[in-house]
């Protein structure tokens, strides 16, 4: 199972919007609307931000949104804030009770 | 509140095995599956496997087949991850993560703090 493909880094200024892509295959992202996104600050445990492609858990800001088109899922963060600076990782159900993560994207808030 | 507490850091020699534990509290242990995920230095997260809520056979990522074993003890609400034939490439932070089940299915909604495993001769 190959890892999902994410850009290594993205950046944006406070108040701007950024989008992080997550490209898989027809066996994972393309087959299931079961992509989740995690925010990961160094030294801390990852935090679930989006599940089932576009749903937000309770307590997650509505500045975070998710979408999917074909084999590519996307995470958009609007109104960037300094505390959004972190690594973001996507994950997809891949069938057969297996999951696959992306390589992670480092978000820098300029 | 829901909490996952993991065992302490481990230092192992190449070829050895390591067993990491993850004790759950604050919810009905048998209602949620539990994932194991690791992150090697400078790398992304990597899914290792899942322990099912109903006690049915665990499922492992193909990469770890044959040298990983994931078990659970319902009497102590603890899951275990046993990794054998360790090599330097297994140096990583190992996380247990609860599957969201009914609330956020197919996603990992609560994570343990991680257990550092270092493999060095």
pLDDT 10s digits, A25-83: 999 999 999 999 999 998 899 999 999 999 999 999 999 999 999 999 999 999 999 99
- The predicted structure's pLDDT at residue A2: 80
Give the pLDDT score at B54.
83
Annotate B30-56 with three-state secondary structure: HHCCEEEEEECCCCCEEEEEEECCCCC
- Cβ neighbours around A5 below 10 Å, total: 16
Burial class from Cβ neighbours inside 10 Å (0-12, 13-18, 19+) for residue A89 reads buried
Predicted confidence (pLDDT) per residue in B50-97, tens digit: 999 888 889 999 999 999 999 999 999 999 999 999 999 999 999 999
Q: B95 vs A96: CB contact, 8 Å cut-off? A: no
pLDDT of residue B103: 79
Distance separating alpha carbons of residues B114 and B97, to the nearest angstrom: 9
With CA atoms as reference, report the closest residue to B81 among B58, B55, B108.
Answer: B58
Q: CB contact, 8 Å: A98 with chain B?
A: yes
- For B12-58, write each residue's pLDDT tens digit: 999 999 999 999 999 999 999 999 999 999 999 999 999 998 888 89
pLDDT value of residue B56: 84
The distance of B19 to chain A (nearest Cα, Å) reads 20
Neighbours of B80 (CB within 10 A): 17
CB within 8 Å: B97 and A46: yes
The pLDDT value recorded for residue A101 is 97
How many C-beta atoms surround the C-beta of residue B104 within 10 A? 21
pLDDT surpassing 80 at residue A1:
no
Q: Which residues of A touch B115 (CB under 8 A)?
A: none
Instruction: Answer yes or no: are the C-beta atoms of A97 and A28 closer than 8 Å.
Output: no
Which of the pair, B104 or A57, is modelled with greater confidence? A57
Quick check: A14 pLDDT over 90? yes
Question: Choosing among B50, B56, B107, B113, which should be mutated to test the A contact, i.e. which has the most A CBs within 10 A?
Answer: B107
Closest to B38 measured CA to CA, from B15, B6, B66: B6
- Residue B8 pLDDT more than 90? yes
Q: Select from A57, A93, A96 the Cβ nearest to the Cβ of B109.
A: A57
User: How far away is chain B from the Cα of A97, in angstroms, using its nearest Cα?
Assistant: 7
- Hey, of A8, A46, A93, which one would you mutate to test binding to chain B, going by the most B CBs within 10 A of its CB? A46
Query: Which residues are within 8 A (CB) of B71 and not within 5 positions of it... i.e. 6 or more apart?
Result: B51, B58, B79, B80, B82
């Amino acid at each position: 199972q190959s890892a999902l493909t994410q850009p290594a880094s993205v950046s944006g200024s406070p108040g701007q919007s950024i989008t992080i892509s997550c490209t898989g295959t027809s066996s994972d992202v393309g087959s299931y609307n079961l992509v989740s996104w995690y925010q990961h600050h160094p030294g801390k445990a990852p935090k679930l931000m989006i599940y089932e492609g576009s749903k937000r858990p309770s307590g997650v800001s509505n500045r975070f949104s998710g979408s999917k088109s074909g084999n590519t899922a996307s995470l958009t963060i609007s109104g960037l804030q300094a505390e959004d600076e972190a690594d973001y990782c996507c994950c997809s159900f891949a069938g057969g009770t297996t999951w696959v993560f992306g390589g992670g994207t480092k978000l820098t808030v300029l | 509140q829901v909490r996952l507490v993991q065992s302490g850091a481990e230092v192992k020699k190449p070829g050895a095995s390591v067993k990491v534990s993850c004790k759950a509290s604050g919810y009905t242990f048998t209602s949620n599956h539990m994932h194991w995920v690791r992150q090697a230095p400078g790398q992304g997260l990597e899914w290792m496997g899942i322990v099912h809520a109903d006690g049915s056979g665990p499922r492992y990522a193909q990469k770890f087949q044959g040298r990983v074993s994931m078990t659970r003890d319902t009497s102590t609400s603890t899951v275990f991850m046993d990794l054998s034939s360790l090599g330097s490439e297994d140096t990583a932070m190992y996380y247990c993560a609860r599957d969201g089940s009914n609330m956020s299915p197919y996603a990992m909604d609560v994570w343990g703090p991680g257990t550092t495993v270092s493999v060095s001769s």
